Amino acid sequence: MGASLKRAAHDILIGNDLGGYTVPTKGLYPYQWNWDSVFVALGFATFDLDRAWRELETLFEGQWTDGMVPHILFRKNDPGYFPGPSVWQTSHEPFPTSGHSQPPVAAIAVRDMFEKAPTDENAERAKGLFPKLMAFHRWWATYRDPSGEGSVAIIHPWESGRDNLPDWDEPLSLVDVSRIDAYERKDTTHVDASMRPLKQDYDRYMAILQSGRAVGWDPHKVVENSPFLVADPAITMILLRANRDLLALAERLGFQRERVEIQGWIARLERGVASLWNETVQAYTTKNLRSGVFGAGVSSAAFLAPFAGISDPKVLDPMRNHFDRIAGKVTYMVPSYDPDYEGFEHMRYWRGPVWAVVNYMIARGLREQGDTLRAERVRQDTANLVAKSGFAEYFSPIDGTGAGGRSFSWTAAVWLAWVSPTHAVEAA
């Protein structure tokens, strides 16, 4: 079983490779996606390290002059996807992109790939990416934490990578949809509508997109004008982890002048993440910066605290209690949202399903802080989901049914890099 799944995962990455960049899956997602490519690189690194570096290098070909790495790179126009480049109307060269970003996981992968094979050649590849990573992290600090408080905000649910999380319901309810352009979704022609966001969600997604387009995607004006501005614990904790890895890279690669700036980012995020602690829920939750309203339930982001390097027992003890409570209610961990919450839907995108890449980050953090039993529960559940339902985009935490896209690149990649018993990085 393990050998056949390893071959299948390998074949998925090769099959979704369009020549230096990888699509998440053909049809549903026909372009290069930001954080998908980073996890894909970790998968490629298990059998072709040169190709892994190339995945990250092609991703940063889409970087804007202000440092932002967009969430979609439109290297070609595919009429089977909406919203495409004609809707976003960005001015990036040499190819169009979307107008906002996605979770900043790239520095984490660069450190992993370099430290597992610290050759001179890989050092040069890492050094080539380092200034681009600095610019990307500086963009987050400048444009998504403009107050300097250390809780990172998003201007669109898509920027979080967790599009229809129940915690977006309240801030999305405040978005005016009376002037949105007519549009035709394409996602529901590829997968069942019951697995995707609702039309009312898409109406609001388009209204937010149009607000960014109206100001020419100017990063200051986007934040000022977006009807949606929400501090996100997942982005905040992923960026905190990524900054720690970026600091380690600076020290290993000889970028001494950059160390002070990175240390400042880390200190700011360590202070700011406390503002997302929800005393009522006893977990880190979202916070609507327009209304001040906190998220109502526990999302999988709450379990990223160890991954971010947070070790305070006042935080981790309640987190473990939530973990154990939720583990008693589902068959497979970790659901993207608390099954005790009324917004939970076990098959609808980010309202409940298990995502292998989030499980990877959660389990890695747990293991790094010595919580090996819970880490292994997450890894084994992920293995069982893939064995049961293949390399699906996401899975039901209740019965393990695969959902969304199939032959999915990042699910295959985390199998190779983490879930599989043999996942050592091998130099090409």
* Catalytic member of 48, 145, 163, 381: 163
- Catalytic one among 167, 187, 345, 393? 393
| Residue 6 CB neighbour total at 10 angstroms | 20
Compute the distance between CA of residue 376 and CA of residue 410 in angstroms, rounded to an integer.
Answer: 20
Q: Known catalytic residue: 61?
A: no
Are 285 and 298 in contact by the 8 Å Cβ rule? The answer is yes
Chain centre distance of CA 376: 22
Q: Which residues pair with 73 in a beta bridge?
A: 32, 97
Over the chain, what HEC string results? CHHHHHHHHHHHHHHCECCCCECCECCCECCEEHHHHHHHHHHHCCCCHHHHHHHHHHHHHHCCCCCCCCCEECCCCCCCCCCCHHHHCCCCCCCCECCCCCCCCHHHHHHHHHHHCCCHHHHHHHHHHHHHHHHHHHHHHHHCCCCCCCCCEECCHHHHCCCCCHHHHHHHHCCCCCCCCCCCCCHHHCCCHHHCCCHHHHHHHHHHHHHHHHCCCCHHHHHHHCCCCEECHHHHHHHHHHHHHHHHHHHHHCCCCCHHHHHHHHHHHHHHHHHHEECCCCEECCEECCCCCECCCCEHHHHHCCCCCCCCHHHHHHHHHHHHHHHCCCCCCCECECCCCCCCCCCCCCCCCECHHHHHHHHHHHHHCCCHHHHHHHHHHHHHHHHHHCCCCEECCCCCCEECCCCCHHHHHHHHHHHCCCCCCCCC
The β-bridge relationship of strands 230-231 and 153-154 is antiparallel
- Quick check: 90 and 222 in contact, CB under 8 A? no
Task: Answer yes or no: 163 catalytic.
Answer: yes
Active site residues: 163, 393
